[in-house]
Structure 1
Amino acid sequence: MTFTPRLNHLFRILLKNTEPVSVSELAALLNTSKRTLFRDMENVNSQLRGFNLKINAKAGVGIRLEGSEQDRDRLAQALLSEDEPEPMDKESRRKRLILEILKNQDVQKLYYYSNLFKVSEGTISNDMDAIADWFRENDLELSRRQGYGVALEGTEEAYRRALSQFIYENISREEHWEAPAGPDRKPADEIDISPLLDAKIFNQVISALKTIPSKKLERFTESSWFMFVIYLSIAAERIIRQKTISMEPDVTAKLKATEDYVLADTVADMLENSFRFKICDEERAYICIHIKSAKQKYIDKNPDDDFYINHYELIRMIYRMIDRFDPELAQELKMDEVLLSGLITHLDPTLIRLKHNMVIQNNMLEQIRTMYPDIFEKSKNAAQVIRESYGFTVPDAEIGYLATHFGAAVIRMKERKLRRKVVTIGVVCASGIGISYLMSSRIKNTFKADVLVKTFAQEDLAEGPPLDIDILVSSFPIKDVPYSYLLVSPLPTDEDLEKIREEINRCAYVETGLLLPETKSGGPSYLHKTWDMAESIQSVLSQFEITYTEENIEFTELVKQASQRFGDSDVNRRLIFNDFLAREKISSQVVVSYQFALLHAKTDGVSKPVFSVILPTHPPFRSEYLQGAVLAVVMLIPKNSDGKENSQMMGKLSSALIEDEDFLNALKSGDRDVSYKKTQEILEGYFAQKIKELYL
């Protein structure tokens, strides 16, 4: 059997590895995207059937070739009968051609490239025509003169920008972010950053940057930090080659007068000390521009900035952008404080990037275009306001980020017009006992206060009065009943629970006013509930903290530390400790796939609910019991009359650990301010929802 060149390469790689290989690593080795790799593998098992082999792909783990040693040897022999191919379809060849042209410092004939890629000069010439626009978009000209060869023409600034752009488009952050240790704990000088970057320089820049104490650098988003490291690595390598950048003197002088230039000076001095070369004022000014243009978690505006717009002017421009986005929704969108604050934070560095023609990576761009074409087109209209106001052309990558802000606001606006109801789920089994109760428990524990679960025997489904349920779930096929149902495993898997979740979301939201009005009585009791909820939330926030402990700590000692921290007497500490262990005996709460341990219990040891985080000094926890967790989340609920309300509140936080990636990442980071703000946001959302349930 003859395989495609890329599958041939793929099988050779997997045959050399007995352990799973990550998708990112495979894509890099095959010089292709993850999406293309998955497309190539769609029918791969049918092609391997003749060898008694199969591909096993697990999310978060990687891809492994499974089969006996004898069958693996048969495949290896079959592959040896073919020349080892280069995975050179047209798309990948043109990407490699761009890379080679960027990497090459000398003029080269077409023959050089045709020989390199083992195709005709005519094919390479067509490829050159196709990639010329890419270079032109980055202000470089692909010069091709007969008898002379192929060379790039343009400024040093444009060349560096093109290098950055190519890296952003084709290099996955996840593959190269483990510096200086590197993926799989390889030494730094063994990390294959890309053919365009020296791995030692890349890691040397990261190590040196970590020595700079700067609040501004700490506020960089992860993507901006990565881009900054890439730019400094490119700059360092070009300076070593004695290729320096130029800038108009008045622009340099204006940047030198800003506060960010002080930080740029510090970074430049750090690079000088690390690499033993001198950095001129123009290079320092470009470092300053990259600092100004970086996306930040939050920002402080400064009138001395290179491109400063006062708050009033920025709000006026944002209002015009909202008007252009959708005139019919504009009035309501202008009342969305989350949208306004998000755009204010986003647009400050965006305008600086646009002024200096700086590229930005948006890995979600194609997904946004495909899934939300209407939002993307409306955001493109909104971006025209920026062009009309300042003359800056807004590229699609930036429009994609605007679309995320506007799209989220539209969703929030729709949700405000909806009300969520508790969804009733019917669980059925042959007898109505046993398995159905295990299924019910799994569903209740997963969806908590969002659902009401009822159990039924099969005979309950016969013709008669309709069941008062929204969703029916069964562990076996049901015949001759007038209901549609979801078929799941007796102990529902994660995939089963996701199907149930989708159905819950479909049933849960109805337009305000469509639910039967509830009888509201005892006004003071609702006020009392409101006050108690607010007090509980305030108690959680006031006690919230992030503490650290040794990574080698055993589970029992970790529980003891948590008990000591939140018990205000020896008696209460013992109560908390015993209740923690009693809960753990029921089932372990170490959630391996999300790397956290959940220490929670109802206890008489506290009078108010508690939510807190314990992190290992050097993650992860080493205890075998904690299974590689990188944080422990502590949740305590007092045993009192408000137990149900407190359980629902804590349930909201525990579900957010799974469903809100930003929340979990904030807690893992150890950043107390960011974690507190995220916790507050979740609890305020819970409070708002409960108020709606009480009073609407």
Structure 2
Amino acid sequence: MAYRRRKDIFICLLNSDIGLSGKELAKIFNVSSRTIRSDIKFLNELIKEYGISIDSSKQGGYFISEKQKNIGISLVKEVFNKEEALTKVPNTPSERFAFILFKLTFARDFITMENFADMLFVSKTTIYLDVKGIIEFLDEFSNLSLEISPIRGLKLKGDERSKRLIISNVLKREKKNDKLMLSRSFYYAFTDENLDLNKEMLFLYETIINVLNKYGYILTDADVSLLVKDILVSIKRIQMGFTITEEIGEDLDLTIAKAIKKEIEGYFNISLNNKELEYFQQSFNSKRLLNVTSKVCVLKEEGESIVDEFLEGIRNKFNIDFRQNTNFKRNLILHLNPMLERIKANYFEDNPFKNQIKTNYPFAFEISMIIVPIINKELNIVISEGEVSYIALHVAVALDKIYRKTNIAIICGSGLGTAQFVKSKIVSYYNERVNILGYFPVYKLNNILKGEYGKVDLIISTIPLTTKSNIPIVQVNPLITGDDLMRIEHYVGNPLITTKETSISGIKEEFFKNELFEYFDEEIDFFKAILRFSKVLKTQGYIDDVEAFYASVVERENLFSTILEGMIAIPHPMESMSKITVVAVGVFKNPVICCGKKVKMFLLFAFNAKENEKLKLLYGLLQKIVESKTIVENISQSKNFDEFMAKLNW
């Protein structure tokens, strides 16, 4: 858009018999006068080599002299072919952020803010704001600092390894459809116009893929791309004379790095010493593995010991035993080892789906929180919410496998074809969550009820049935519809609930109490509302210590916010502090703001870790609530307890 506008401004001035003011041009092109000034500055820089300039005067505005117009008209195409190439100049704050950092990491001397402003065609004020963001970003890197001199400008100080890490982290932040492409602003770190970085990346990609295949490692697509970029950045810096001199401080198995050494040295005409190979290997070790097919691969003891402690913690707190699930354990270690390497090496990893994971798998996320203090104890760091949510996905898969399937008997009065169609629809919709015992005629109903075909949890029938049995029956259309599947969902949808033969009504009454509901029609702070409920929990005899309970809830909230999508929050203490498991419900008349997010309703958990089965039911109920926008929207409008309970149906 900027390219087309600048071209049109230039042509407009070439064809105008009079000068045009900044305001007039701004009105014509529907932008601000400030943007016009920036565009004119850019255009003058672009056309000065052709002996043309856009002049200005207070009275006449912007104009091109008659003598220069003929030259300008004949050169429009040539000039703007070059301008199109210059559209690589970063325009957005995130692009300028990358550009400035790349320039600083590759610079041997100071760069003034004026120089940056000229390079980027922006004001010094804009550069100053960009630099503020860079200073904040550098806080994460203890070995790097930005030296700022009023006269000399900016200089990035620190060791070579940290400078490469910061480039890697910036490249990782970029969102591109083609992941095997370098940032456009990255090219501005180099002066060689004939440089073809993408060709070099393709060579590295093919080399690395061959080595990964040879040694049986399968990485995610995104991480293969990041590994290629990390190594290319290192090669470019080595070629420019920037080499690693500091010791890594640990013994590394350099198998992968040594396997690509000869190819890289030959193609790029460089020599790689052990410190450089260690950096390559460390970069590989930090990448996420999808699988390892090599039989000689040894899982690291560090990750294995953390996983063992994690599984023991799950068993103690939730009475769920994953210790014999060898696939879960191995996959978790495969995930954990690169994660630990990333953390130790200051590689930052975000999870773009963390909010969805927290919302859709709250029980799995809470189970995964057990690993946070374990890793903190081992490495003296708190892992990010994004990393916890990645672990939660592994836990969610493992949870699906431990709950028994819902056994279903199908009764059909319309023949074999219809029965098979009903079975096919149910199996395709519910997959591994159901076990179809078979399809039967109605005269076999008594045999089914007696358990002659196995234990039955649910009967699905295409015809009306009358029976005194406790086994639930769902009548469906012979051509089973979406509404039918949703009604079946009540009995199949959540294994956390169906593990116990408890009705939804019974589950609700188990946890929600009239005295633990409040509608806040006045303005109140989120944490003050939690403190008020903490006092109510003490008054009602559920907890003993208000201050300890409230402090633990705040600690959990400060670690990672429990505010989910749909303006619902699920605050709770870090540990078991209640005599029985209950939920306090707070509904705000008007949403309140906490941690930059809106909250319309919160469910404050006060749990007793000894009530393992109740906890599973509670998280199952919670998952059922938060995964339905309709339920969340309905219950968040409740003004009293009875209304809340009535709306808590599906």
TM-score by length of 2: 0.47
TM-score by length of 1: 0.44
- The structure showing larger relative contact order (alpha-carbon pairs under 8 Å, at least 6 residues apart) is 2
Higher Rg of the two aligned structures: 2
